[in-house]
Amino acid sequence: ALSDRLESAWKTLRGQDKISESNIQDALREVRRALLEADVNLQVVKDFIEEVRESALGAEVITGVQPDQQFIKIVHDQLVEIMGATNEPLAESNKPPTVILMAGLQGTGKTTATAKLALHLRKQEQTSLLVATDIYRPAAIDQLVTLGEQIDVPVFQLGTDANPVEIARQGLAAAREQNVDTVIVDTAGRLQIDPEMMSELADIKKAIKPDETLLVVDAMTGQEAANLTQTFHDQIGITGAILTKMDGDTRGGAALSIRQISGKPIKFVGVGEKVEALQPFYPDRMASRILGMGDVLTLVEKAQEEFDIADAEKMQKKIMEAQFDFTDFLKQMRLLKNMGSLGGVMKLIPGMNKISNSQLQEGETKLKQTEAMINSMTKEERKNPQLLSNSPSRRRRIAKGSGYTQNDVGKLVTEFQRMRSMMQQMGQGQMPGMSPAGGG
Ligand code: GDP
Ligand code: MG
């Protein structure tokens, strides 16, 4: 790797530079709690955390962040990856119509989602036919017909006396005849998973060979989403899911359970009762919502942006050529400051409230003091600290300008020179146990 000696120097001053068991312990506990609060299934949480922890141990810490902050970001990124890095669109048959089968328990929002999908497709100039196979609840067919009228999409139905498999079969035939692009088959659900419902669904699936079998899951299902997904996936085989009722205050942990267990993507989320209330599934948004640690994530992202590689390489060259000066030093300090006040930053971190206010204040004061003194230096002085070692009058001027004592200025110069020569040695690979510059 590029030898970020400067970074290492900073980190030794600031704390740990690698993610280890001990420096992420609090963060680990916070993440576990966040996932459970978001209603992710317990076993899913355990497996997930174990995976992330193992892959994170030993990772280098980014400049300007703490190991546990970075760990939370790693968890977040892993969540995003698991849930599908990009949004997955609906499957499309190359021999239309595309057939979509809706599956799920009663009351989860299947019928509503059927209409929502049709509206979504219509906006893409695709035609659909909706098929009503829920013959068990008297109002179910009417519900779909009413929704169809609302969005101006036809509904195929044979009343409540026909056989659901037969309705599905004939509905598909009608769709072929009418040359519609997509046929969406709404099905009956039960309050609990029962063998009768499962076998009916399996029969419908066999009869129409869908391109998509979408499991509709109520986001409020919570922990049970895992079992539900397992059962449907084992017995029916799903290709994706729709997570409904995300407009509520649920954190959406069901999303992770569904994905971990079935390996299938969540394609849409329902965010209201209206037919328009359907959104594509965005894994990164969902990951942030599940973790509920938006502040930390923003912070780490900011740090990553601020310290770009090009800068690091330039700095590295300067260090090796002993050109690292007060201007560079100031730049590094501002990088830290840009991320907000030290106190503000620390408070974002779970478990960090143990740091005393006076310790925080001391750190902030020191940063401020150093910056003020560097600001009072001339360009030449910043470039060449030696000028300051040799001239009491320069030190006096800087002390006056910054509001600190000559002693403070003297200390800064000495510390800086010690740091610089140390970094130079490291840069030239002269430190025991360090690999030569540029290697490793
Ligand atoms: P089904 O039994 O699976 O067909 O479920 P329905 O489509 O009949 O929906 C059951 C109830 O949930 C209805 O009152 C819907 O209006 C409501 N519903 C469906 N999707 C959503 C959603 O995304 N958000 C909210 N708030 N309500 C929804
Ligand atoms: Mg229904």
Please tell me whether the overall predicted TM-score, pTM, comes out greater than 0.80 for this model.
no
ipTM: 0.99
Residue 342 has pLDDT above 80, yes or no: no
Q: Among positive and negative, which fits the CA dihedral 348, 353, 358, 363? A: negative
Give the range with max mean pLDDT: 213-217, 299-303, 353-357: 213-217
Measured in Å, residue 96 CA sits from the centre of ligand 2 at 25
Q: Taking a C-beta distance cutoff of 8 angstroms, is the pair 187, 201 a contact?
A: yes
Residue of the nearest CA to atom 15 in ligand 1?
A: 273
Amino acid, res. 201: L
Starting at the edge strand that comes first in sequence, how are the strands of the sheet with 278-280 ordered? 155-156, 128-132, 182-186, 98-103, 212-218, 240-244, 266-270, 278-280
Measured in Å, residue 107 CA sits from the centre of ligand 1 at 6
What is the CATH number that goes with domain 98-280?
3.40.50.300
Residues 6+ apart with CB under 8 A from 60: 1, 4, 17, 18
How many residues are there in the chain?
A: 440
Ligand in nearest proximity to the CA of 113: 1
- Domain residue ranges in the chain: 5-76+293-427, 98-280
Nearest-atom number in ligand 1 for the CA of 107 is: 2
Q: Taking a C-beta distance cutoff of 8 angstroms, is the pair 233, 261 a contact?
A: yes
Mean pLDDT within 285-301: 79
Ramachandran bin of 187, using left for φ above 0, alpha for ψ from -120 to 50, beta for the remaining angles: beta
Measured in Å, residue 191 CA sits from the centre of ligand 1 at 14
The rounded mean pLDDT for the chain is 83
Is 231 known as a binding-site position?
no
C-alpha–C-alpha distance, residues 12 and 360, integer Å? 17
Q: Do domains 5-76+293-427 and 98-280 have the same CATH topology?
A: no
Measured in Å, residue 75 CA sits from the centre of ligand 1 at 32
Mean pLDDT within 93-102: 96
Percent of all residues in the chain with a pLDDT value above 70, rounded to a whole number: 78
Helix, strand, or coil (residue 182): strand
Ligand in nearest proximity to the CA of 141: 2
Rg (CA), the chain: 30
Nearest-atom number in ligand 1 for the CA of 105 is: 3
Nearest-atom number in ligand 1 for the CA of 134 is: 4
C-alpha–C-alpha distance, residues 268 and 397, integer Å? 65
**Tokens encoding 108:** 């989860």
Judged by average pLDDT, the poorest of 133-137, 188-192, 337-341 is 337-341
CATH architecture of the domain formed by 5-76+293-427: Orthogonal Bundle (1.10)
221 ligand 1 Cβ < 6 A: no
Mean pLDDT within 33-44: 91
DSSP strands (E only) in 43-181:
98-103, 128-132, 155-156
Is 108 known as a binding-site position?
yes
